[in-house]
Structure formats: structure tokens, C-alpha cells
Structure 1
Amino acid sequence: MPTVLVVEDEAAIAELVAINLRHAGFEVTLAENADQAMVAVDAVLPDLVLLDWMLPGQSGVALARRWRADARTRELPIIMLTARADETDKVAGLDAGADDYLTKPFSTQELLARIRAVLRRRVPEALDTVVEIGGLKLDPSTRRVSREGVDLKLGPTEFRLLHFFMTHPERVHSRAQLLDRVWGDHVFIEERTVDVHVKRLREALLPARCASMIETVRGAGYRLSQQAVASAA
């Protein structure tokens, strides 16, 4: 379930947006100002932020710039919400790092379409596209994983972990990065949890003779190796 942080100081608008997003299958967190938004993002990195331009204290534009300057939040998808319709304001919002810009008032359908479009551009692993590497096939829409006719049984966390590895092959990912991208960067989850789930993932891949695809890179983390998949074939 994708998570959306709604940063909006007008309670009625925030609640209406939250209701519609939850109805569409999103998990929603609300923040009334920049300080609350920063606390929320520090705790759990959302999949996307709906950020109002006009906020009490620090503006949404300033907050967007701040997130873009931080390595942890640099790729955080942001859609600006504002009553400002001038082209110069739109350019200013996009220059601050927003991925899209929505002028109030807006329809629920347009909002949902913009959100899905940004997630498709910025978070390709959230798509329902089938991924296949070395004969190992993962289908997000049916939650099935198979190789050479062998269906594999994975738990939900192992499925997300494998999906992330398969959409980012050959790259080494630290435990902290995996927590950030697979678990949502929740502060209460320890890094050693990653090791437990990698072990479970390898065990789940054993029946298809491709457990070796998940390589441990000593002192750095883990990666999916296409060469290892090929050699295991």
C-alpha cells in the first residue's frame, strides 16, 4: 500500500484529500506545517508528499528545497498543491524540486491521476510490470514468482525485497538503503532485520536453484547478480 504524506494547514481540505486517498488504497499521514512534515518524514519516508505552497512558518517551497538538498530525501516524490495559478509560480514550484504542480480547486480524479503518474516516473518498482532476470519471473499484479515452471512461495516482505533487487540489478545496496526502500525507513526496525529476510529470501529461492543470485558484498550490503543467476541455471 503506497504511503502519502499530506502537508496542508487547512483541516477541511486535508481531511477531504485524506478520505479520497484512503478510499483509493493509499495509506495517509497528515501534517499541518513544515515542522510536523519534517518529523513525519524523519520517522518514515513516504512514497509521495502532497505539499501545500502556503504553510504557516516555513513555506512549502522552502521545505521542498530543503528535502531536495538532503541525500535521504532527494528522490522523494513531491506534488505541490497551491491556489497560485500564475505560470511564474508554477515554475518556482518546479524549480524548488516539485515533480508536479496542482492548482486548487482540483478534482479527486485529477489528483489521483497526477499521483499515479509521479509514482510511475519516480518509483518504477511500484508498477505492476512483470520483471524477469535469468529466467526468474516476478509478477507484482498476481504476487507470483517462478522459474522454469517452478512456483516459489515468498512472504510479503521477501516478495518486496526480491522485487526491489530485480528492479535494481547489479547495484550494491546497504542494509540502511534496503530498510529505506523496502520497509519504508521505519526507525524502529533494526538493520539486522534485513539479514533475517535475505536469509528467508534465499531459502525461498532454493527450489528454483537460484538462491545464489542474492550476493553478500562484505562490508557493503547485498546485490542481485545476473551472472550468479546464469551460473545457477
Structure 2
Amino acid sequence: PTRLECMMQDFPTVISAEKSERVGFTSIAAEMCFSPVKNATADGVVLQGKGTAAGTAATGEADHYQAYRKILQSIGCQVEEAEPETYKGISVIPGPQVVVYPEFASCPGEYKAKFPTPEKVKISPKSTLIIRGPNVTINSLDLDGTLIIDVPAHLEVSIEDLEIKNDGWHKIAVDDDEAKEIIKMRGYKMERKKQAVIKKQRDVVKAAGGADGEWWDVSDCAIL
């Protein structure tokens, strides 16, 4: 049996006249809200060659990062786009990779409060930024590598004049001999070389990211 569904254009036909005046819709660019992962890689190559969205695992992940980048760029953050790369025939923009958990910000309007001085936030093309925690504020950041911020809800963390430069995370192309299907269908695996981490350890928020992964005091990382 087919699934039950209602197409958007059919919805107005079931609304009574007095209720129809209170019904509207919001249109959002597909790149900000829709990137299906539904096609085999070979089919995606053909579609992409015709100028159509590939709808593959690689493009779905890349578009996820892109949506966050566009939000940051729209509020004034300096986020540089990487050059396109190709994995198993699928072209994607590999970075920077930005992942924002919903407890940090769940809609574009909340980003302005989380990045009060966006002109002081710079993210290089090779970077990875992961943010988790409802009370994190990023005032000024120069990121060229990988930074993970993961703090619990009861702590407030303010990033101020923080400069991170490390080898970061990189995509490594794989071939059809790759054993894991989830990796093979994507066309690459992640090589995690170095990362800086801001998290709670015991009762203190600290940061790790030195050459030997040692822990630094909060003050040493300008986390207020």
C-alpha cells in the first residue's frame, strides 16, 4: 500500500472559506532545507551531469554543512568556501564543515545572539566547527583546523580572541574495495588528524588541543 500524504497544493481545497484567510505558507530555498539522499552514486553522476541535484550520500552531507555556512555568512561571519572536490564522480564542496546542535541554535534568527560580533569570526576552507551547548557565545574566533565545543546546559562559555590552527579533519577518497558500505556509498572517509576540544572535565570547563593533546586551563584559551 502507498503512504498517506497530502500535497501542498491540495491543502487549500479542503479549507473552508472563513478559515482560508488565516492560512499561508513560507517558501525557503531548497539548499537551506531539502537535500535528499535517495540515489545510487552512478545515478547521481548522471543527474549532476545534467545540472540536476545528485541526491547522493556525498551531496546530502555536503549540503548539510553548506546550510550552516550560509547562515553564518548571512549574518556577517567570514566563512571561506573550499574548492569543489570529486568523489566517485560526484562533485561536492568539502568545507568548511560546520555542525550546529539544535540546543545551540535551532533557527537562523538565533545565530545573531550566538555570534554578536560576526565580523570577528573567521573560518578557513579546511576547517571543521562543531558546537553543542545552549549557553555558548562566540564573540571572536579565528579557526584554521578543527574545533569541537561541547559543554553542558548549566555552564556558560564565551569564546573570546580564540585562535585555533591545527591539521584538522580531512576527506580521503575510497574505492569500491572499501569494506563498509556506508563509507563506500559516500566515496570518502574522514581522517581525523588533530582537533581542539572545549568541554567539561570534572567541574571545570577546559580546552584540549596542544601538540600532545594536553589539557589547558580555561584562561589559557581565552574562554571566559
**Bucket of the pairwise TM-score, normalised by the shorter protein:** under 0.3
Larger strand proportion, structure 1 or 2?
2
TM-score by length of 1: 0.24
TM-score by length of 2: 0.24
Larger helix proportion, structure 1 or 2?
1
Q: From the CA coordinates, give the structure whose radius of gyration is larger.
A: 2
